Amino acid sequence: MASNGIVDEYIIPVYGPYKIEGCMCFGFEQDVHSLEPGITCQLEALASVSHIKIVACFADKMERIELSKRETEVLQWLAFGKSITDISTILGVQPTTIDSYTRRIYAKFGVHNKIGAVLAGVSTGKVSL
């Protein structure tokens, strides 16, 4: 960032619907403390509104996602930190079967990994921690 002239940044945590949380980061060519008064308040408002708008773009899609009983069960075990091998042992099925359920869950939520699936599941209320 320094090579692009960014010498300081202001990071704002954001909280939104569906328990989707994150942070917005703004970079500056000067020390954040030297900004005009009120700028940080404006940035915080901008970050909050932007986050809510971004989440709203996906809200309808997320609410309509239907998981089968078994997919929900697999996702819940993933949320508890279990591996595919662990889940296959717990549910008494082959690891390839759990892998198939996991791939279907990823596809339904539009994610590419376990963390994304768990976050999507928790944020939509499909599973809990």
Cα-to-chain-centroid distance, residue 118: 8
Highest mean pLDDT among 31-40, 56-65, 96-105: 96-105
pLDDT, average across residues 89-108: 96
pTM comes to 0.58
3-42 pLDDT, tens digit each: 788 889 999 988 766 667 788 899 999 999 898 889 989 9
**Is the separation of the CB atoms in 122 and 71 below 8 Å?**
no
78-87 pLDDT, tens digit each: 999 999 999 9
